[in-house]
Structure 1
Amino acid sequence: MTSSDPTASPGRWHALHTLLADIDSQIESLYTDRGIEGVRPRFAYPLIRLAHAGPLTIRELAESLERSHSAMSQTIAAMRREGLVASEPGADARTRRITLTDRGRALIPFLEAEWRATEAAIAELDDEAPHPLSAAVTELENALARRPMRERILLHLDGLLPAVGPEAPSTTTRP
Structure 2
Amino acid sequence: MPDPHELDPTQQSLWRPLRLLQASMDADIARVYTDARIDGLKPSYVLELLRLHARGPMTITELAESVNRTHSALSQKVAAMREAGWVETVEGRDARSKKVTLTGKARAVVGRLAAEWRATEAAAAELEAELPYPLSQVVTDMEQALERKSFHDRIAEKLAQDPEWG
TM-score by length of 2: 0.90
In the alignment, what sits opposite 2:77?
Answer: 75
Correspondence 1:4 to 2:7: yes
Gaps of 5+ in 2: 1-5
What CA deviation, in whole Å up to 9, does each residue of 1:5-43 have, x standing for no partner?
Answer: 322x14000110000000000000000101011000111
Gaps of 5+ in 1: 164-175
Q: Distance in 1 between matches of 2:117 and 2:28?
A: 13
Q: What secondary structure is seen at the aligned counterpart in 1 of 2:77?
A: helix
Q: What secondary structure is seen at the aligned counterpart in 2 of 1:39?
A: coil
Match of 1:157 among 153, 156, 159: 159
Matching residue's letter, 1:21: A
Give the number of the structure whose alpha-carbon radius of gyration is greater. Answer: 1
Matched positions, count: 160
Match of 1:35 among 34, 37, 44: 37
Q: Distance in 1 between matches of 2:70 and 2:19?
A: 19
Q: Percent identity?
A: 47
- Runs of 4+ in structure 1 deviating by more than 4 angstroms, as ranges, are none
Q: How has the CA–CA distance of structure 1 residues 92 and 148 changed in structure 2, closer, same or farther, with 3 Å as cutoff?
A: farther
Alignment of structure 1 residues 66-105 onto 2, 5 Å: 66-105=68-107
- 1:93 deviates by 4.9
- 1:69 deviates by 1.4
Match of 1:126 among 112, 125, 128: 128
Q: How has the CA–CA distance of structure 1 residues 158 and 60 changed in structure 2, closer, same or farther, with 3 Å as cutoff?
A: same
RMSD: 1.5
Matching residue's letter, 2:139: V
Q: Distance in 2 between matches of 1:73 and 1:40?
A: 16
The structure richer in helix per residue is 2
Q: Distance in 2 between matches of 1:150 and 1:113?
A: 38
Q: Distance in 2 between matches of 1:10 and 1:76?
A: 35
